[in-house]
Amino acid sequence: MGITEAQFNSANQCAAMRKALFPAVVSACYDARIGRVLVALESGLELAFSPRQVDRLRHARPHDLADLEISPSGLGIHFPHLDEDLYLPALLEGFLGSRRWMASEMGKRGGKAKTQAKAAAARKNGKLGGRPRKLAARD
């Protein structure tokens, strides 16, 4: 059972939206001198973290971390010697803020996205009278 062209296009559209929500990794390396993984994002943000702070890298040796690769999407880092992958948005969630804060930030960016599905949903909602009014708080 194969996938349809519509499913394929939909998956590509979802992937593009996810990628637009988070800046891609432009470079990454392990610096054995300081014992840190160094990551530069296309936004200009540069990060350094100890592998000991990441569960799946906690017991890795320096030579296991030396040859890392950036995933094709730019959202992940692969460590071939360990056969481990890190998804940067999930990794940064704990470092840069709480889940609630990160969800809020991603929601702001996602709200700016313009897709056919979003436009169709807005038109459908508008035909139903729009967003319901908020009820006044009762004393």
Q: Give 38-83 pLDDT, tens digit per residue.
A: 999 998 989 999 998 888 898 999 999 999 999 998 999 999 999 9
Which pLDDT band, with edges at 50, 70 and 90, does 100 fall under? low
Q: What is the pLDDT of residue 139?
A: 57
Radius of gyration from C-alpha coordinates of the chain: 20
Asked if residue 139 is part of any domain, the answer here is: no
Number of independent structural domains in the chain: 1
- For residue 54, what are the domain limits? 9-127
Structure pTM?
Answer: 0.60
pLDDT given for residue 95 in this prediction: 64
Find how far residue 139's CA is from the centre of its chain: 42
CB 77 within 8 A of CB 28: yes
User: Which CATH number is 58's domain given?
Assistant: 3.30.2020.40
The reply to whether 137 falls in a domain is no
- 132 lies in some domain: no
Looking at the domain assignment, is residue 77 inside a domain? yes
Contacts of 61-65 with C-beta under 8 Å, sequence gap 24+, read 62/30, 62/32, 62/35, 65/30, 65/32, 65/37
Inside any domain, residue 4? no
Structural domain contains residue 35: yes
- 3 within domain boundaries: no
β strands within the chain, DSSP E:
25-31, 36-41, 46-49, 69-70, 76-79, 84-87
Question: For residue 133, is it within any domain?
Answer: no
pLDDT(1) > 70: no
pLDDT tens, residue by residue, 14-44:
877 777 778 889 999 999 999 999 999 998 9
